[in-house]
A and B are shown apart, each in its own frame.
Chain A
Amino acid sequence: MKSKINLFLFDFSVLSIFRRGSKNIFIFFVFTLLIFLLSSVLFISNSIKSELDTTLNALPDITVQRLQAGRAINMPLSRLNKLLAIDGVNAVIPRVWGYYYFANAGANFSVVGIDQFEDQYRDLYTKLCDKFNFDKLKKDSGMLIGSGIDQMLKNNFYQGYFNFVKPDGSLAKVKIDGVFKADTALESNDVIVMPIKKVREIFGMKPDEAVDFVIKVANPSEIPNIARKITEIYPDTRVITKEDLKISYQNLFDYKGGLFLALFVISTFTFFMIIYDKASGVSSDEKREIGILKAVGWTIDDILKEKFYEAFVISFVSFITALCLSMFYVYFLNAPLLRNIFIGYSNLKPAFDLPFSFDFQTFAIIFFLTVPIYIAATIIPSWRVASMDADEVMR
């Protein structure tokens, strides 16, 4: 039975892969490794980027800090009403927070104060935390901590509480009533959330002060105007818009992305070296075989088709294998070794899970950076040989 697709040619190509087994196994191995590296880099980068996007969307519209000699100092709450009176401002929220240095571990904790643990956030906290009891938290005036801090405190023999050292040298004992889940650790790893009163106590802040104000704006396009008005009213303030924060986060990400780019460049360079090596010549056996095929009636097109199938099968199987391995490595094993390049959002090393993020564009980039290039590198030298007279090639 005659098939429309030339299965004989395809069979011949597959057979040729096995005939040159050791060489092709080597190529398959190297190619798979390189695609694995490339795709792992891109998957991690994507995963972090999607996490970053979520963070960026949650950023405040405007943050206002007070400066003294260029240094940020506390903001008096008395300024709140004037800011609220600006047209377009929906809300002004004073924030009380700070970095607490834990000398035993040599790490900073980001301590964030909230007005109180309100019932309306019960579901949210329950969703964010492991082993969490809201009523106990409310009763204790305790704290919620990131998983990194939890681990660090356990390593330092703190079980269920932590003693903060206040500016006057006395201790403030705060109970741990919840730990943020590991999959939020990229943002929450070094974070402690506790009532504002406790934070003021720990940092020695006056009750009529906040660290900064965050401002919610009704119309995002009005943000630059409102920012200008704030600096007019209070010239001693620094006004940071969502856009500024985005740029700053983006810079941080790009710095880390730069490290990945270096890895990416190295692996791509290696890949092209191998491709160049392959493209720079056809072995004498392959050359002779091409001559024989031409001599028995194969056209250049037939030879190129055969070489195409051969290269496609090798590169596509490598591509699929590498992608599967890479997904397993990044999303199941959490990218050991490579992920260390990306962490550093927080002062503690976060034990976060890389969230799965499917991006067709990434698959397309990896595919087009590898498979067609390999196919071209295989076909071009074969085409050069096939274009010669069969007699000359076989000689």
Chain B
Amino acid sequence: MIELKNVTKEFKVGAKDKVVALKDINLHVQKGEIVLLKGPSGSGKSTILSLIAALNKPTIGEVIVDGKRVSKLADNFTSLFRRENIGFIFQRYNLIPSLSAKENVIVPLIPSNPDSNWLEDRLQELFQNFSLESKMEVMVKNLSGGEQQRVAIARALVNNPSIIIADEPTANLDKKLSLEFIEILKKLKNGHNSIIIASHDPLFFDLDFIDRQIDIHNGEIL
């Protein structure tokens, strides 16, 4: 279970142009639940996702995931927490352009020094699922936007995370590719993962497999 308790997040704390991204937010996400955070750009959706993934820390309040106060963890432990629990699909994919698709997908597993046979099987499985078998050795900078996004999803799933976070996943995709992504999400729902999506794309608004939609505006949950 994911819980945000009285979370406020400010950027440039103490400066004149201080930005209050979140104001006293409270949020609960159940295990296996798919939640859509919707709202205009700058409303604070991405900040919530960053806090859940422990990429950032709240200014006030706390973030608890599976009973663990991730907002209080030391830096190295937040990395371990992400490695073991989080699969993050970034808006701009955040792939390493000079690596191949396969190398990008392996990246999250490198520090845990995986068994090479297991890794090979896992890669085959993922690349087959996302119809990327022929692109394994291609540099990601040479892939199309849709392919890059599928590589980013494969990377997010490679460590079997219990929480999948997608930040504006369709922002850089055309409608066809956006629908393809939604199909992938549907499949992931069957995997009993908690999925949190931040998007203002109307394509997500009427999807029946999304359990809950939360409106965010000016850093507040409506």
Contact = CB atoms under 8 A, between A and B. Distances in A.
Interface of A: 1-3, 6-9, 12, 15, 19, 289, 291-302, 387, 389-392, 394
B211 interface: no
Contact of B83 (A2, A19, A289, A297): A297
B21 to A, nearest CB: 11
A7 B113 CA distance: 8
Given A291-B94, A300-B75, 17 more contacts: A1-B117, A6-B111, A8-B109, A8-B114, A9-B110, A12-B107, A19-B98, A295-B53, A298-B79, A298-B83, A298-B110, A299-B80, A300-B76, A389-B55, A389-B57, A391-B50, A394-B94
Interface of B: 50, 53, 55-57, 75-76, 79-80, 82-84, 86, 88, 90, 94-96, 98-99, 103, 106-111, 113-117, 155, 159
Contacts of A15: 99, 103
Given A389-B55, A391-B55, A8 B80 contact: no
Contact of A299 (B57, B111, B113, B114): B111
Nearest to A292: B94
Contacts of B98: 19
A389 B9 CA distance: 14
B101 to A, nearest CB: 14
Contact of A9 (B83, B95, B111): B111
A390 B53 CA distance: 10
A300 B79 contact: yes
A297 B114 CA distance: 14
A295 B76 contact: no
Nearest to A392: B56
Contacts of B111: 6, 9, 297-299, 302
B96 A294 contact: no
A299 B116 CA distance: 21
Q: Which 5 A-B pairs have the closest CB atoms?
A: A297-B83, A391-B55, A296-B108, A302-B111, A299-B79
Contacts of A391: 50, 55-56
23 contacts: A2-B113, A6-B110, A15-B103, A289-B96, A291-B94, A292-B95, A293-B107, A295-B53, A295-B55, A297-B80, A297-B82, A297-B108, A299-B76, A299-B80, A301-B76, A302-B79, A387-B75, A389-B55, A389-B57, A390-B55, A391-B50, A391-B56, A394-B94
A308 to B, nearest CB: 14
B93 to A, nearest CB: 10
Contacts of B83: 296-298
A394 B94 CA distance: 8
Given A296-B155, A297-B79, A300-B79, A2 B116 contact: yes
Given A15-B103, A297-B80, A297-B108, A1 B116 contact: yes
A2 B155 contact: no
A293 B57 CA distance: 18
B113 A8 contact: yes
A8 B82 contact: no
Contact of A294 (B57, B79, B95, B115): B79
A12 B110 contact: yes
A296 B88 CA distance: 7
Contacts of B82: 295-297
Nearest to B95: A292
Contact of B107 (A3, A296, A299, A392): A296
Contacts of A289: 96
A19 B99 contact: yes
Contacts of B116: 1-2
Contacts of A298: 79, 83, 108, 110-111
Contacts of A296: 82-83, 88, 107-108, 155
A299 B55 CA distance: 12
A132 B57 CA distance: 87
Contacts of A302: 79, 110-111
Contact of A389 (B56, B95, B103): B56
B68 to A, nearest CB: 15
A356 to B, nearest CB: 44
A389 B75 CA distance: 8
Nearest to A390: B55
A19 B140 CA distance: 13
A276 B83 CA distance: 34
Contacts of A292: 94-96, 107
A7 B112 CA distance: 11
B98 to A, nearest CB: 4
Nearest to A19: B98
Given A389-B57, A391-B56, A8 B115 contact: no
A368 B10 CA distance: 46
A301 B83 CA distance: 14
Contacts of A8: 106, 109-110, 113-114
A289 B140 CA distance: 14
A12 B207 CA distance: 40
B2 to A, nearest CB: 17
Contacts of A390: 55-56
A26 to B, nearest CB: 17
Contacts of B108: 296-298
Nearest to B86: A297
Q: Which of A291, A296, A389, A392 has the most CB of B within 10 A?
A: A296
A19 B99 CA distance: 8
